[in-house]
């Protein structure tokens, strides 16, 4: 696109005036290559004939510059997006995207709502997603893609979705926690009206849903755009400016998509006529092409011909008919039943093992059948969730339910029921009932005859979408109205003995029907039930195939049935059964048990009470929570949750050891708060143990050396083991141990063999008051990233540190005088309260280009030397100041403009990288150019020097900052007010001056609605700061008198992207200078000479100022 700046296009085209003079000179200069001049003339003629921008049409000229930038950015985004989205995996979408963008008319000042309408699975969501990704990069100030409105509306209600929408548009997560009345307040809506936004509402099903989401949003900011996808055109007629109907793929696109799924990367060895015949039956529907292609994939020519012959039985081109071909192609009735079960039982994602337990055969054939359904695209794996998490498309679910409806005009004669209006009408034909009580729209009364007629019922699922509060089961009622499900008091003889799956949340009766024979029951779920025991005055029946039992939050349950005849039981969930007193000994025979949850069983004192004298079969745990014995015979038990209350009497408080026998397949051994004094050497044979928790074992005195034999151990928790004075020698490498917790223990020293903890990442030694030093071999721990020694009051000396260290905390080590050389990559260093600390041997500032904190768990690293009154000035005013700058810029480099943090250290100098500095509390007349608040702006950095003898930590809590902007052109005023938060956390006065650096990033400012400042004109800024006090409500900041807090100096810097680019050059220069000074002090002239040579080569770098 040509730009005619101060020149008429006709002058360029005719090459007159200055252009004519220039060409005359060029013809003389290039007379031997005159053809080049002719090419240049032709190029100018062609350029002048193009539609370009004429500078005389733009006043002031800044509008011309802005228009050029916008056009370039728009074209770049389109090019990049086109390359990303249109390379084969989204067939036939490019043209549709361009049509939608044309309807949106980006750039026009009006507000537009575009509807995308079409049948299910036709590609509405995909199309909207691509348009959203292409436009949301830089075109709008707020964007939100709200997926699955129909499902999420039913699941969570309108208020939840509305909060999600406003939170994303305003970039304010606090909205998620607001009351509905605040969400609908004029204040929130006024904020929305000030932002140009892009909204996509996906799969809106009714006008009620749409109105609930966009109510009050009818006055969006100019140039805002909204896209609504729906299957119901009626939703759009009232609100949409344009309705775009998504048509199917054309013949060429259909063929391409079909080949992709039928043949993959392989060349088709199939007659082209058969391929064309197959695609013609799909009528251009993307999902139908995928299903049909997958069905025919890897099949022979004969099978193709047979399948295509079958297609002729279904002449209707509609999508359900196309999808039903795949269903009819299932090999046998079992697979068809599985598909229909899934379609009728699950409204969202589900797990493959759920389907296995509900199916008629719990064996390997079920896995094969699931695999076939996946291969036929009737169900899909959810990406990123492994093979266990599955999903069925809405269209396929609708197809399955339509098949069931077609079984009979009378609902009671169908095989599956899921509608509350129909569940009371069942006959012998009914096999499955799935009733979501959360979404009932009326009270339902189940008559006695309802279940008596359903003799073939194999799945009964009456469930709520629930929340757990404490030990209570709290149903999540959609719509806020709790309709009741009433059943007869006596259900004897009315539950089918063919039941394989029985779930009845909030089951209202005290007993199960006495004549119910659970010989086929695989899973029993009675969450939040009123059951006291399963049967009254009846011998416990056999559960020969039962695999899972869930009585969670059944507060009235007092006892379990005898499980001697339940050999296949794998999982027992008794969480929140607050009346349960004991668990029977028969559980010891459950060899397949892998999960036992006893969390919240506050009255449970005895497990296997009558076997308490036996020690061969189990190992003992004496807990302050009252639990006593856990069986050894649970050979596959992976985890036993033992979180009990602490006010129960001990069964045998004198037990001080654990049995020599352990379950060999244990993975988690939790003996927290027990009375044991030692562990047996045989614990080393637990080769599969991953976690060993001995926290608060206050009598534990020693650990066996055999602990190093636990080759799978990843976590060892010895928190609060007060009598544990030494850690055993580590005779062999422990290759998996990553976490060692020794906080609040009696440890005096660690062995030199600590080097055998080859994989250790986190070592905690906080409040080890007898610890004086660390082993010299600490530096050999090449994977150690975090080392905490907080409040180790006797600790005085550090060995060398490993180069991998990223986080070091020595806060409260009052006798520590120096720190060793620190790795330059160390991201966090906390030493507040180290009153004797004088120096850091060396801590070179890293280069930003060498730092990779993306996804790093220490990326929010901090520097804190509060209260280190003896720290030398060079370390404070130079080393720490530079590292603070690196910490801020390293996070900004990876886009973390949400940074809102402060750094503290002793010192009295404002770092030189602060552009504006003053002695006092005010800076005036900061002149800012136009566009100072552009996309390169990253945030504010403030620095304060607090006068040490004038800070009262009880009164001075933080620093209040006020920033005023005044536009030069029209004297308009804008402001910002913020506070650092708590600074003085030791509640004692300090004598030395302290430096506090506070940074608040652009994203944090945006979330506070603070970026509505002047942009295009010259601006003058004023900054004022003062000490502040927080009242008890923490809502107000009160300025305090000078006798309680005095700011000696302060500075401010406006931080930009360019500061990141310049930082490394200045860091390298400073590191070389410090190395030079170090060499001079040691007399190493050779090193100095080498350094001087490098400085000569890079003299230009010296001229760059920091940031």
Nearest to 165 by CA among 206, 120, 216, 127: 216
Residue 11 placed within a domain: yes
Number of domains in the chain: 5
| 501: three-class secondary structure by DSSP | strand
| Residues in Cβ contact with 14 at an 8 Å cutoff, skipping those fewer than 6 apart | none
Q: By C-alpha distance, which of 637, 642, 593 is closest to 622?
A: 642
At 849 the pLDDT is: 65
If asked whether residues 279 and 393 sit together in one domain, one would say yes
Residue 588 lies in a domain: no
Distance between start and end Cα atoms, the chain: 36
Residue 913 and residue 1009 in one domain: yes
Contact 915, 1052 (CB under 8 A): yes
Q: Going by DSSP bridges, is the β-strand pair 380-381/389-391 parallel, antiparallel, or unpaired?
A: antiparallel
* Same-domain pairing of 19 and 82: no
pTM of structure? 0.50
pLDDT reported for residue 181:
60
Query: Residue 437's Cα: distance from chain center in Å?
Result: 30
Contact 106, 139 (CB under 8 A): yes
Residues 332 and 396 in one domain: yes
- Examine the domain organization and report whether 1037 and 934 are in the same domain: yes
Residue 799 lies in a domain: no
Write out residues in the chain with pLDDT < 50, as ranges. 78, 81-83, 86-87, 314-317, 468-471, 478-479, 607-663, 1009, 1032, 1082, 1084-1107
Say whether both 1035 and 1013 belong to one domain: yes
- In this structure, the answer to whether residues 189 and 164 fall within a common structural domain is yes
Three-state DSSP state, 1053:
strand
Q: How far apart are CA 653 and CA 671, in angstroms?
A: 14
Closest CA to 987 of 832, 837, 836: 832
DSSP state of 355: H
What's the CA gap between 1012 and 928, in Å, rounded? 15
Say whether both 157 and 293 belong to one domain. Answer: no
Q: Which of 735, 690, 699 is nearest to 718 (CA)?
A: 699
Instruction: Give a yes or no: residue 619 inside a domain.
Output: no
How far CA 14 is from CA of 30, 46, 523, in Å, comes to: 20, 11, 88
Residue 516 near residue 539 (C-beta atoms within 8 A): no
The secondary structure of residue 773, as a DSSP letter, is B
Q: Are 650 and 625 in contact (CB under 8 A)?
A: no
Within a domain: 1031: yes
Is 311 found in the same domain as 394? yes
Say yes or no: 9 and 136 in one domain. Answer: no
Domain for residue 620, yes or no? no
818 φ, ψ (degrees, to nearest 5): -150, 155
Predicted pLDDT at 748? 94
Question: 994, 906 in Cβ contact below 8 A?
Answer: yes
Identify the CA nearest to 233 among candidates 211, 207, 257, 258: 207
**Domain-embedded: residue 220:** yes
DSSP H helical segments within 136-185, as ranges? 149-156, 158-170, 180-183
Domain boundary among 554, 579, 597: 554
- Cα–Cα distance between 781 and 794 in angstroms, integer? 23
Q: Is residue 935 part of a domain?
A: yes
Residue whose C-alpha is closest to residue 637's, from 687, 574, 571, 573: 571
pLDDT (0 to 100) of residue 1008: 56
Question: Quick one: DSSP state of residue 880?
Answer: I
Taking the CA of residue 856 as centre, how many other CA atoms within 13 Å lie in the half-sphere pointing to its CB? Answer: 21
pLDDT of residue 623: 29
Crossing angle (nearest 10°) for helices 301-311 and 272-282: 30
14 and 39 housed in the same domain: yes
- CATH number of the domain that residue 121 is part of: 3.40.50.300
Q: Which of 694, 519, 708, 528 is nearest to 600 (CA)?
A: 528
Bridge partners of residue 830, in order along the sequence: 809, 864
User: What token pair was written down for 107?
Assistant: 């750039």
Closest by CA to 549, choosing from 514, 515, 584, 538, is 584
Reference 686, options 708, 666, 658; nearest CA is 666
Q: Which one of 13, 36, 57 terminates a domain? A: 57
Query: Which structural domain, as residue segments, surrounds residue 1014?
Result: 877-1059
- H helix or E strand, kind and range, residue 114: strand 112-117
- Where b means 16+ CB within 10 Å and e means fewer, 403-413 reads bbeeeeeebbe
What SS3 class is residue 411?
Answer: helix
pLDDT tens readout for residues 148-168: 898 889 888 888 888 888 888
- CA neighbours within 13 Å on the CB side: how many for 648? 21
Clarify whether residues 963 and 1054 are in a common domain.
Answer: yes
Boundary of a domain, candidates 57, 75, 90: 57
């Amino acid at each position: 696109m040509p730009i005619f700046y101060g020149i008429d296009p006709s002058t360029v085209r005719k090459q007159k005036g200055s252009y004519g003079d220039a060409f005359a000179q060029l013809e003389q200069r290039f007379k031997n290559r005159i053809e080049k001049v002719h090419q240049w003339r032709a190029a100018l003629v062609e350029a002048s004939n193009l539609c370009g921008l004429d500078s005389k049409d733009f006043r002031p000229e800044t509008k011309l510059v802005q228009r050029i930038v916008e056009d370039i950015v728009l074209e770049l985004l389109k090019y990049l997006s086109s390359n990303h989205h249109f390379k084969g995996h989204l067939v036939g979408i490019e043209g549709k995207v361009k049509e939608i963008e044309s309807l949106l008319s980006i750039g026009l000042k009006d507000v537009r709502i575009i509807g995308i309408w079409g049948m299910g699975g036709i590609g509405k969501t995909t199309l909207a997603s691509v348009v959203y990704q292409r436009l949301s990069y830089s075109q709008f100030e707020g964007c939100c893609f709200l997926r699955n409105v129909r499902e999420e509306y039913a699941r969570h209600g309108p208020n939840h979705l509305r909060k999600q929408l406003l939170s994303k548009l305003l970039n304010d997560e606090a909205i998620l926690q607001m009351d509905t009345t605040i969400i609908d307040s004029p204040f929130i809506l006024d904020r929305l009206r000030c932002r140009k936004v892009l909204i996509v509402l996906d799969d809106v099903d009714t006008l009620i849903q749409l109105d609930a989401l966009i109510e009050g949003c009818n006055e969006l900011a100019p140039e805002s755009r909204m896209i609504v996808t729906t299957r119901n055109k009626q939703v759009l007629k009232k609100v949409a400016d344009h309705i775009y109907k998504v048509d199917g793929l054309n013949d060429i696109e259909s063929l391409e998509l079909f080949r992709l799924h039928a043949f993959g990367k392989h060349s088709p060895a199939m007659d082209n006529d058969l391929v064309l015949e197959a695609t013609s039956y799909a009528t251009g529907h993307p999902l139908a092409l995928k299903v049909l292609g997958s069905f025919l994939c890897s099949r022979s020519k004969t099978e193709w011909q047979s399948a295509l012959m079958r297609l002729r039985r279904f002449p209707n081109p509609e999508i359900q008919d196309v999808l039903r071909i795949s269903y009819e192609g299932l090999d046998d009735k079992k697979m068809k039943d599985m598909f229909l079960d899934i379609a009728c039982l699950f409204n969202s994602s589900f797990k493959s093992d759920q389907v296995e337990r509900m199916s008629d055969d719990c064996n390997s054939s079920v896995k094969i059948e699931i695999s076939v359904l996946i291969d036929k695209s009737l169900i899909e794996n959810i990406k990123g969730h492994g093979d266990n998490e599955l999903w069925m498309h809405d269209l396929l679910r609708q197809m399955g339910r339509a098949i069931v409806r077609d079984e009979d005009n009378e609902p009671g004669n169908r095989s599956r029921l899921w509608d509350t209006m129909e569940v009371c009408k069942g006959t012998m034909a009914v096999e499955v009932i799935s009733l979501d009580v959360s979404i009932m729209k009326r009270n339902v009364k189940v008559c006695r005859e309802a279940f008596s007629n359903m003799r073939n019922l194999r799945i009964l699922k009456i469930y709520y979408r629930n929340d757990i509060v404490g030990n209570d089961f709290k149903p999540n009622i959609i719509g806020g109205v709790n309709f009741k499900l009433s059943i007869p008091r006596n259900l004897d003889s009315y539950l089918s003995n063919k039941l394989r799956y029985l779930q009845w949340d909030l089951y209202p009766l005290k007993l199960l029907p006495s004549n119910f024979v659970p010989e086929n029951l695989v899973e029993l779920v009675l969450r939040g039930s009123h059951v006291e025991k399963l049967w009254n005055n009846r011998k416990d029946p056999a559960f020969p195939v039962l695999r899972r039992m869930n009585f969670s939050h059944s507060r009235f349950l007092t006892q379990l049935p005898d499980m001697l005849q339940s050999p296949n039981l794998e999982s027992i969930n008794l969480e929140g059964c607050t009346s349960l007193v004991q668990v029977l000994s028969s559980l010891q025979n459950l060899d397949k048990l892998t999960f036992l949850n006893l969390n919240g069983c506050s009255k449970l004192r005895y497990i296997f009470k009558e076997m308490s004298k036996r020690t061969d079969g189990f190992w003992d745990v004496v807990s302050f929570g009252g639990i006593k014995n856990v069986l050894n015979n649970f050979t596959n038990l992976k985890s036993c949750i033992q979180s009990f209350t602490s006010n129960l009497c001990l069964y045998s408080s004198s037990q001080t050891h654990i049995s020599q026998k352990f379950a060999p397949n244990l993975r988690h051994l939790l003996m927290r708060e027990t009375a044991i004094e030692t562990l047996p050497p045989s614990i080393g044979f637990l080769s599969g143990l991953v976690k060993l928790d001995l926290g608060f074992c206050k009598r534990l005195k020693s650990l066996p050396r055999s602990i190093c034999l636990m080759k799978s151990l990843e976590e060892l928790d010895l928190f609060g083991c007060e009598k544990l004075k030494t850690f055993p020698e580590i005779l062999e490498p422990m290759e998996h141990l990553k976490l060692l917790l020794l906080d609040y223990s009696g440890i005096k020293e660690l062995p030199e063999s600590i080097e055998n903890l080859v994989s250790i990442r986190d070592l905690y030694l906080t409040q080890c008051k007898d610890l004086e030093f660390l082993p010299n071999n600490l530096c050999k721990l090449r994977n150690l990233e975090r080392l905490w020694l907080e409040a180790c009051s006797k600790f005085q000396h550090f060995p060398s540190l490993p180069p991998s260290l990223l986080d070091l905390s020595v806060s409260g080590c009052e006798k520590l005088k120096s720190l060793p050389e620190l790795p330059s990559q160390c991201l966090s260093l906390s030493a507040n309260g180290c009153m004797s600390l004088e120096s850091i041997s060396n801590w070179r500032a890293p280069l930003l280009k060498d730092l990779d904190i993306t996804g790093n768990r220490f990326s929010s690293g901090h520097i804190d030397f509060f209260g280190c009154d003896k720290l030398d000035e060079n370390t404070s005013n130079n080393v720490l100041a530079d590292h603070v700058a690196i910490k801020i810029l390293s996070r900004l480099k990876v886009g973390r403009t949400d940074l809102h943090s402060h750094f503290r250290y002793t010192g009295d100098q404002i770092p030189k990288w602060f552009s504006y500095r003053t002695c006092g509390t005010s800076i005036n007349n900061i002149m800012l150019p136009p566009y100072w608040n552009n996309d390169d702006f990253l945030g504010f950095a403030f620095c304060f020097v607090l006068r040490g003898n004038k800070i009262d930590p009880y009164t001075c809590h933080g620093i209040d900052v006020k920033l005023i902007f005044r536009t030069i052109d029209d004297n308009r005023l804008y402001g910002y007010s913020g506070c650092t938060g708590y600074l003085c956390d030791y509640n004692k006065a300090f004598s030395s001056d302290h430096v506090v650096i506070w940074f608040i990033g652009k994203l944090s400012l945006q979330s506070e609605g603070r970026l509505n400042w002047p942009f295009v004109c010259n601006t003058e800024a004023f900054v004022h700061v003062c000490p502040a006090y927080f009242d008890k409500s923490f809502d107000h900041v009160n300025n305090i008198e000078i006798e309680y807090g005095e700011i000696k100096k302060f500075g401010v810097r406006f931080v930009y992207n360019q500061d990141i680019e310049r930082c490394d050059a200045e860091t390298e220069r400073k590191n070389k200078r410090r190395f030079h000074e170090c060499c001079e002090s040691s007399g190493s002239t050779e090193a100095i000479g080498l350094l001087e040579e490098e400085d000569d080569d890079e003299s230009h770098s010296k001229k760059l100022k920091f940031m």
